[in-house]
Amino acid sequence: MGALLIKRKYPERKPCNVVKINNEASRILTQITNETGIPKYKLASEMILYASENIRIIDPDEEEEEING
């Protein structure tokens, strides 16, 4: 597993400097970088930002209650 340095785009947010990524994720980011010219750190930081704004992590027990309740 590798690590990717993330430059802070939004300094007011909680800092996230290093993200551990697996080899498959690294390979995909490299492929996108080669095709678009967008640096890996920028791709990764945008993906993390999108995920943090659009994905809600729920406790599995809470999810079950919502579905059944």
pLDDT below 70 — which residues of the chain?
1-20, 55, 57-69
β-strands 2-5, 18-21: how paired?
A: antiparallel
Domain boundaries, the chain: 2-68
The SS3 assignment for 4 reads strand
Is the pTM higher than 0.85? no
Q: Percentage of the chain surpassing pLDDT 70? A: 49
